[in-house]
Amino acid sequence: MKKIFIFKFDPKIGPQLILLYPPKNELPSKELLLQIWGNYELKSKSILFELKYNNENYCVIGKPQGKEIIFIVTQLSFNDEFNLIRNIFIKLSESLFSQIEQSNFSMILADLYKTFNEFSLIDRNQLFFNFFSDKNRINLFNILKNGVIDRISLLNIFKEEYGISESNFDLILIPFFNLNLIIEKDLPGIKKCYFLINDVFFCRIPCQKIIKKIDPINNSADKMYLTEIFEYFKNYSLENEEKLYELSKIFSNPIIYNSIVKLYDGKIKEEEFLSYITEDFTIFSQLIQEKIIIEIEDYIYPMAELNFIEFKPFYIINSLKKRFEENNISIEQFFNHIDLLQKYK
């Protein structure tokens, strides 16, 4: 995504820009704003549509407020998917429009921009690193692991315990939908229940690509590497939540993540690897300390391949049973969650 901007259209004055993010971007032209308004009118005031103008693609969402119409617009990059951004907009539109006049809306817009750009990433592993680099997402994930919960209850928890507003809460939710971790569903008498349908855990595994390429018989560095990874995995245990959070803060940076992925194909000279991570010696030391990489005879090797393994959270059934017996969830919530676990991949 290139930028997000918000403007209002007044029938007497015309279009007026309200906000632009990132702020250093070129301002949208008056002609573009008029094109957006014109398309909105032509499409029978459709709340959301795609617009092509001057070889650029835009995703537009509009809403009347009094005599004015407020528009939230994203200028798409070449690789952006309109359907993905459309789905995010649909889920966020109500809370976004209600927050526009608030003083912290520029921060909300910045978070929205970050959320959109995260999901233009191709590598699913890095999407999960981005996911686990946010404490609020981790907190929400842990709540959802107890089974079905309705939106009002979830909002109250986040407002009271973490001071999160509704608009920020919706931004936290978006990655759960896009990673296919949860389903939102209305039940009789209960609007918007959230069901965890997929879970994930992080693990390190031996990097098969590089193991097949090394020559431990004729190369002393390769021989030492094989010994090191054997010793490492002999004592390896899965990372806890706090360690995963720390690692995710590192690998949410695509430069660092992509540099590690390059190592999977073969060892790299230290000087070359440092150039990949922009000569950041602090990060370099951290990668060694965290046993992400190992330095042997001026070569950098990966200690392991970093992976997220997805699985069905059938363990939730025990929690659902207990909560149902304690009258904390209804019979519809109980059976719907079990049904969704079996239905969705």
pLDDT digits (tens, 9 = 90+) for 177-198: 989 999 999 998 898 999 999 9
Q: How many domains does the chain have?
A: 3
pLDDT value of position 81: 67
Query: ∠ CA(88), CA(138), CA(169), 5° rounding?
Result: 40
Separate counts of helices (H) and strands (E) for the chain: 15, 13
pLDDT digits (tens, 9 = 90+) for 290-304: 999 999 999 999 999
Q: Where are the beta strands (DSSP E) in 31-105?
A: 48-53, 56-65, 68-75
Same domain assignment for residues 8 and 116: yes
pLDDT value of position 45: 63
Mean pLDDT of 316-324: 96
Same domain assignment for residues 297 and 318: no
* Domain-ending residue, one of 60, 89, 120: 120
pLDDT value at 19 more than 80: yes
pLDDT value at 214 more than 80: yes
The residue segments making up the domain with residue 305 are 200-309
Confidence of residue 26 (pLDDT cuts 50, 70, 90): confident
Same domain assignment for residues 29 and 7: yes
Q: Which residue has the tokens 């993010």?
A: 21
Same domain assignment for residues 225 and 100: no
Same domain assignment for residues 328 and 187: yes
pLDDT value at 91 more than 80: no
pLDDT digits (tens, 9 = 90+) for 137-191: 999 999 999 999 999 999 999 989 888 877 788 888 988 998 999 999 999 889 8
Q: Which of 260, 270, 266 is nearest to 305 (CA)?
A: 260
Q: What is the pTM of this model?
A: 0.80
Confidence of residue 47 (pLDDT cuts 50, 70, 90): confident
Mean pLDDT of 276-292: 93
* Domain-ending residue, one of 100, 120, 140: 120
CATH number at 175 reads: 1.10.10.10
